[in-house]
């Protein structure tokens, strides 16, 4: 009798594992869209709670926010994509025509004293900038070629977003029922997981977007060519920890100083410094009382995530590492280690 029960358990476990593997391969092409919908539901959850208090209808509240989300994705894509493509090509042409040698010789005279070294450095610089501009232009071109697939992915993300937003409480209860931990450990895992997710999405992503927009305002006000494309680049680098928007606005300010004069360059620098201020002061304020990851660890997570998941890896990479550290600490039955991941104030237990 015991052998029969044991055999049934083994067969049930094997069948469950097979079904999980088959389900994974089934949803794998849509996995990033599903994860994106879940993460966006987390971001818009406070908005949903506010709308629900007004409407008292879960379906209506989730529908309104889903429509709003689709509009803020489609409208910028529809209007700005042609401009971004045009400006990326414009930057490519400007890079080809711009004289890098003269300003570099002025700044680093000893480095360019040898004619051979000078030619080699200029060749490498031109090759790098040309390859980077080509890569970006091709990436935007691929977006347009894959428009039908992107539309399908957007629909999957929207449906996931709607149902997770509407049924989030039931979903959390269901996930807790699957965890093989005590109630106290479950609460601790969810508390730290929510803190990590909040820290990455709001502290890193939202603040990075605000930093990029700040740089973009300066570029538009002082009529910098291809400002929309440069703003998008500033947003991307603003999201990346340690790097920041300085890698965009500082070279642009130098370029403007050479081509347009002191006043526009000074103005762009002011907006760049405002962008840095947002990163240095707004980000710590947003993640206060939340779990905070070590910046180097977050950067590693983002870089690895980009290689593995593409652009969505900037979010998924740090989250995966953060959740892993949480589970390791639960396994060790100790508090968060201060060097890698820590609450900004003592966690409540």
Residues 6+ apart with CB under 8 A from 267: 218, 221, 222
pLDDT digits (tens, 9 = 90+) for 286-340: 665 566 666 677 778 878 887 887 777 777 888 888 888 777 777 766 554 445 5
Q: Are residues 52 and 58 in contact, defined by beta-carbon separation less than 8 angstroms?
A: yes
- Given a cut of 50, whether residue 134 has pLDDT beyond it is yes
- Given a cut of 60, whether residue 346 has pLDDT beyond it is no
Report yes or no on 293 lying in a domain. yes
Quote the crossing angle between the two packed helices 147-166 and 168-178, to the nearest 10°. Answer: 80
Report yes or no on 134 lying in a domain. yes
pLDDT of residue 189: 76
Q: Are residues 126 and 100 in contact, defined by beta-carbon separation less than 8 angstroms?
A: yes
Nearest to 200 by CA among 284, 279, 311, 298: 298
Q: How many domains does the chain have?
A: 2
Quote the crossing angle between the two packed helices 313-332 and 183-198, to the nearest 10°. Answer: 150
Residues 191 and 320 placed together within one structural domain of the fold: yes
Token pair 């500082």: residue:
250
- Given a cut of 70, whether residue 152 has pLDDT beyond it is yes
pLDDT confidence bin for 118, thresholds 50/70/90: low
What is the enclosing helix (H) or strand (E) of 341? strand 341-343
pLDDT digits (tens, 9 = 90+) for 157-190: 888 999 988 888 888 888 877 777 777 777 777 7
> Domain boundary at 166, 193, 217, which?
166
> Which two structure tokens, joined as six digits, stand for 95?
């890079």
Q: Are residues 87 and 97 in contact, defined by beta-carbon separation less than 8 angstroms?
A: no
Residues 201 and 238 placed together within one structural domain of the fold: yes
> Which two structure tokens, joined as six digits, stand for 295?
């910046």
Residues 343 and 241 placed together within one structural domain of the fold: yes
Residues 192 and 161 placed together within one structural domain of the fold: no
- Given a cut of 80, whether residue 142 has pLDDT beyond it is no
pLDDT digits (tens, 9 = 90+) for 260-288: 778 888 888 899 888 888 877 777 676 65
- Tell me the mean pLDDT in the region 55-78: 85
- Given a cut of 80, whether residue 155 has pLDDT beyond it is yes
In terms of residue numbers, what domain contains 292? 179-349
Report yes or no on 17 lying in a domain. no
Return d(Cα 257, Cα 270) in angstroms, integer: 14
pTM, full prediction: 0.64
Residues 115 and 184 placed together within one structural domain of the fold: no
Report yes or no on 104 lying in a domain. yes
Residues 160 and 213 placed together within one structural domain of the fold: no
Average pLDDT value for the chain: 76
Cβ count within 10 A of residue 54: 10
Report yes or no on 9 lying in a domain. no
Which has more confidence, 5 or 248? Answer: 248
Residues 218 and 278 placed together within one structural domain of the fold: yes
- Tell me the mean pLDDT in the region 82-86: 69
pLDDT digits (tens, 9 = 90+) for 95-115: 666 666 666 666 666 666 666
Residues 185 and 115 placed together within one structural domain of the fold: no
> Domain boundary at 145, 166, 187, which?
166
- Given a cut of 70, whether residue 76 has pLDDT beyond it is yes
pLDDT of residue 149: 77
Residues 215 and 127 placed together within one structural domain of the fold: no
Residues 39 and 145 placed together within one structural domain of the fold: yes
Report yes or no on 173 lying in a domain. no
pLDDT of residue 93: 65
Q: Longest Cα pair distance anywhere in the chain, in angstroms?
A: 89
pLDDT of residue 343: 54
pLDDT of residue 221: 87
Report yes or no on 289 lying in a domain. yes
pLDDT of residue 294: 66
Strands (E), 220-324: 291-293
> Domain boundary at 142, 166, 190, which?
166
Rg of the Cα atoms in the chain = 25
Q: Are residues 9 and 16 in contact, defined by beta-carbon separation less than 8 angstroms?
A: no
> Which two structure tokens, joined as six digits, stand for 233?
């680049």
Report yes or no on 280 lying in a domain. yes
Q: Are residues 254 and 205 in contact, defined by beta-carbon separation less than 8 angstroms?
A: no
pLDDT digits (tens, 9 = 90+) for 10-52: 888 888 889 888 888 888 888 888 888 888 888 888 888 898 8
Residues 189 and 320 placed together within one structural domain of the fold: yes
pLDDT digits (tens, 9 = 90+) for 209-258: 888 899 889 888 888 877 887 888 888 888 876 677 888 888 888 878 87
Residues 236 and 283 placed together within one structural domain of the fold: yes
pLDDT confidence bin for 349, thresholds 50/70/90: very low
């Amino acid at each position: 009798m015991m052998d029969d029960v044991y055999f049934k358990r083994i067969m049930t476990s094997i069948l469950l594992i097979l079904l999980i593997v088959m389900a994974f391969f089934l949803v794998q092409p849509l996995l990033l869209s599903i994860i994106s919908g879940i993460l966006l539901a987390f971001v818009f959850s406070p908005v949903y709670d506010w709308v629900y208090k007004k409407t008292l209808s879960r379906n209506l509240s989730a529908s309104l926010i889903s429509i709003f989300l689709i509009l803020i994705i489609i409208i910028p894509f529809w209007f700005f994509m042609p401009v971004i493509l045009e400006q990326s090509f414009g930057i490519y042409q400007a890079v080809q025509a711009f004289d890098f040698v003269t300003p570099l010789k002025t700044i680093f005279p000893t480095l360019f004293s040898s004619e051979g070294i000078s030619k080699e450095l200029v060749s490498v610089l031109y090759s790098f900038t040309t390859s980077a501009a080509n890569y970006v232009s091709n990436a935007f071109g691929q977006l347009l070629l894959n428009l039908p697939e992107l539309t399908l992915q957007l629909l999957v993300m929207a449906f996931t977003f709607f149902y997770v937003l509407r049924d989030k409480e039931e979903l959390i209860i269901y996930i807790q029922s699957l965890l093989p931990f005590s109630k106290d450990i479950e609460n601790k895992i969810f508390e730290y997981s929510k803190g990590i997710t909040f820290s990455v999405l709001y502290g890193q992503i939202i603040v990075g977007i605000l930093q990029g927009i700040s740089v973009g305002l300066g570029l538009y006000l002082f009529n910098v060519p291809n400002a929309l494309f440069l703003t998008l680049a500033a947003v991307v680098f603003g999201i990346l920890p340690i790097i920041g928007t300085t890698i965009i606005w500082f070279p642009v300010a130098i370029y403007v100083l050479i081509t347009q004069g002191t006043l526009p360059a000074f103005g762009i620098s002011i907006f760049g410094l405002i962008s840095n201020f947002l990163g240095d002061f707004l980000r710590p304020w947003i993640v206060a009382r939340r779990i905070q990851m070590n910046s180097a660890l977050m950067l590693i997570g983002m870089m690895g995530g980009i290689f593995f998941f593409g652009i969505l890896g900037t979010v998924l990479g740090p989250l995966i590492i953060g959740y892993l550290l949480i589970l390791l600490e639960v396994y060790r039955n100790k508090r968060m280690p201060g060097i890698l991941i820590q609450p900004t104030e003592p966690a409540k237990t």
